[in-house]
């Protein structure tokens, strides 16, 4: 298992268009970072092109996956528990650190 590729970025929280439910809130990984992740993980992606990551937002750390979107960037789900713990709302901005794992 390789680790150590870490990126940090600011992104706005948004709701998934297919379901306007608070439980499906995401941030988009910036295009340049998404392209870099695609290059690094070529041939090692999981189902649906996902990439496993460890995420840090504020004081909250969790394991999840990022997923490719139709727009060409990866998207990261932000769980309700994280939004509550970090006082984040849809439309707000979060500073996100992701570490690629298992590639």
Measured between alpha carbons, how far is residue 2 from residues 44, 67, 102 in Å?
Answer: 11, 19, 6
Q: Are 82 and 60 in contact (CB under 8 A)?
A: yes
Distance, in Å, from the CA atom of 24 to the CA atom of 5, rounded to the nearest integer, reads 26
pLDDT tens, position by position, 73-96: 999 999 999 999 999 999 999 999
pLDDT tens, position by position, 20-64: 554 689 999 999 999 999 888 887 667 778 999 999 999 999 999
Task: List the domains of the chain with CATH numbers.
Answer: 5-100 (2.40.30.100)
Residue 93 is predicted with a pLDDT of 97
Residue 92 is predicted with a pLDDT of 97
């Amino acid at each position: 298992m390789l680790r150590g590729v870490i990126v940090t970025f600011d992104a706005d929280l948004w709701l998934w268009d297919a379901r306007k439910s608070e439980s499906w809130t995401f941030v988009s990984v910036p295009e340049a970072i998404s392209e870099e992740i695609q290059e690094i993980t070529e041939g090692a992606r999981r189902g649906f092109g996902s990439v496993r990551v460890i995420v840090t937002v504020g004081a909250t750390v969790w394991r999840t996956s990022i997923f490719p979107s139709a727009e060409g960037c990866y998207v990261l789900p932000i769980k309700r528990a994280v939004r509550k713990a970090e006082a984040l709302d849809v439309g707000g901005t979060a500073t996100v650190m992701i570490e690629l794992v298992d590639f």
